[in-house]
């Protein structure tokens, strides 16, 4: 079972997951494919290949800005995109 933690510097994170540093968008797509292949799937009444496991894919983008007249040092900007797929979220009505 994965544990969700919070750190003053890192923010919210999931303990024990894999992290990769990438440069090109194609590398992100390859990692998403790798994660998809690792998921458990099964047939349901609503879907032939329904995911039976949760998936969390977090993209962290970091941009370093060089110093200018107003700032003394380099400035790091960080943004996070959280993509979440919850298993078994479809319902038969």
Dist CA 48 CA 57 (whole Å): 23
Number of domains, the chain: 1
Any domain includes 92:
no
Q: Do 50 and 66 contact (CB within 8 A), yes or no?
A: no
Q: Which residue has the higher pLDDT, 22 or 74?
A: 22
Any domain includes 16:
yes
Tokens of 65: 């800005």
Handedness of CA 7, 13, 14, 17 (dihedral sign): negative
User: Which residues span the domain enclosing 48?
Assistant: 3-85
Q: How confident is the model at residue 3 (pLDDT cuts 50, 70, 90)?
A: confident
Any domain includes 93:
no
Q: What is the pLDDT of residues 6-58, one digit of tens each?
A: 999 878 888 888 889 999 999 999 998 988 887 766 666 666 666 667 788 88
Any domain includes 91:
no
């Amino acid at each position: 079972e994965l544990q969700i933690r919070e750190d003053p510097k890192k923010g919210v994170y999931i303990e024990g997951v894999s992290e990769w540093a990438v440069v090109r968008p194609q590398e992100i797509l390859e990692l998403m494919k790798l994660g998809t292949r690792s998921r458990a799937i099964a047939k349901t009444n609503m879907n032939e290949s329904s995911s039976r496991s949760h998936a969390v894919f977090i993209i962290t983008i970091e941009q370093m800005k060089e110093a200018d007249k107003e700032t003394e040092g380099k400035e790091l900007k960080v943004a996070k995109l959280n993509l979440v797929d919850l298993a078994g979220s479809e319902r038969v009505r």
